[in-house]
Structure formats: structure tokens, C-alpha cells
Amino acid sequence: MVTPFEELPGIHGIVSGYMGGHLVDPTYEDVKKGTTGHLEVVQITFDPAVFPYERLLELFWPQIDPTDAEGQFQDRGSQYRTAIFYHNDEQRELALASKEALAQSGRFDKPIVTEIRETETFYPAEDYHQDYHKKNPKHYKEDREQSGRDEFIEQNWK
């Protein structure tokens, strides 16, 4: 999920972490149980004058299956549901409009279930989760190949 956003002008940082749950300062071990209410997320810091929020939305949707309420690809469970977290009313309206446009596009024959939610406390994931695709490229590539993500993207977004 991180790679399409890397090294683009106006993107200042990408941090893996957790958001949306009831446990303060959760760990990966806590979140992976699926009982904390957190989602695994990435927090992207950007300069809206260089990289508008709408562009983030345009890049986000083709990375996911927005019709899967039970997780993403081989990652199953509530912690793997998709969501867009907004910081203000403008972002909320833009996110809702992009979701509605996708729903009306006819691209999918199932409902778009990605949630649009107000930002909550963000908890950065442990160091070994940051830049995982760079630290463990072989495992990341094998996992991605087995997940079905690339086939889904090719069939539904290209």
C-alpha cells in the first residue's frame, strides 16, 4: 500500500501504524488479534499545495478491494478493513464524493464498503513494520504474489 505514494513530489512522509480502536498505544500483537478495534493504516504527510488531497484519493482506491468488508486479499479480519480517515470537513467531503463517484462508476457489482471516518489517535507501528517492503523485499514480494492483490488490481483498475 505504501509504494505508489513513495518519492512523489509533495509527499513528506509515510508511517505505518494503527488507528480507530479503543486500546491506548497498541502493539502489532494486540492489533492482529482483531479485538482492539484498530485498523492497520498508513499515515501520509503531504503538502496540499504540491500534492492535493484529491490526488491521494485517486492513488488510494486502486490499491484496495473497496468491496471487501472482511479484510484485504489474504489478510482477513476487522483490522484489515479499508478506511479513509479525514482531518477536516473539506477532506471528509472530498473522500465521500470520491467514494460516491466510484460507487456510481459501475466498476464493481458489489457495494463500496470502505469507511470514511474522522481521524483518531494514530499510533505508529513498531520499527520492523516501517518500510517493510524495503527491509524484507523477498518476503514482501512473495507475500504480495500469493495475496492476489496484483491480479485484482490488473482486473479491476487497469
Confidence of residue 1 (pLDDT cuts 50, 70, 90): low
Q: Which of 11, 90, 94, 2 has the alpha carbon at shortest distance from 50?
A: 11
pLDDT tens for residues 97-150?
A: 999 999 999 999 999 999 999 999 999 999 988 888 888 888 888 888 888 888
Percent of the chain topping pLDDT 90: 78
Confidence of residue 2 (pLDDT cuts 50, 70, 90): low
Angle CA 99–22–116, to nearest 5: 5
The end-to-end CA distance of the chain, in Å, is 17
> Helix 137-147 crosses helix 149-157 at what angle (to 10 degrees)?
60
Show the domain range for 65: 3-157
pLDDT tens for residues 35-69?
A: 999 999 999 999 999 999 999 999 999 999 999 99
Number of domains observed in the structure of the chain: 1
User: Which residue is associated with the grid cell 488531497?
Assistant: 53
Quote the CA–CA distance of 19 and 6 in Å, as a whole number. 21
pLDDT confidence of residue 65? 96
- Is residue 86 within 8 A of residue 95, CB to CB? The reply is yes
List phi, psi (to 5°) of 44.
Answer: -110, 120
Domain of 58: which CATH number? Answer: 3.30.1060.10
